[in-house]
Amino acid sequence: MKNQKGFTLIELMIVVAIIAILAAIALPQYKNYTARAKIAQAVGSVAGEKIKVGENQSSEIADLCTGAAPGKCAAGGILTGTSNDLSATVVLTPAIDADGATPITWGCKVTKSGAASYVGKKCDDLSTDAPK
């Protein structure tokens, strides 16, 4: 009786099919993960400017963008952040109470992303409302 050496064709086809199924599931999830990471990077790119806007507001400086990086801060303290590769952009809008004692709360919206389904969504809702 001969000893069997190697794999049969059907065994190899089954392995290829299993790998194809796993890849079909993993690649879209990886793309969503990287798109969310780019959005987080864009939010982080304006972290320092958020502090400067808060300091200007607490010091009652009329121009909230004083000391902020050029091009990142617009009138009213509205900040625009981008990822390092410019594939994601977010806009952070401050909500400032008239009393001046309440801390600033920031609204964040995605304006550009590698995954088009994230555009227009709030930055906090990305992981709970992932695109299909």
Is the pTM higher than 0.85? The answer reads no
| 90 contacts: CB under 8 Å, gap ≥ 6 | 39, 42, 43, 46, 80, 81, 82, 108, 109, 110, 111, 123
Q: Are 131 and 118 in contact (CB under 8 A)?
A: yes
Every domain of the chain and the residues it spans: 9-125
pLDDT at site 128: 59
- Tens of pLDDT along 24-42? 999 989 988 999 999 999 9
Residues of the chain above pLDDT 70, percent: 95
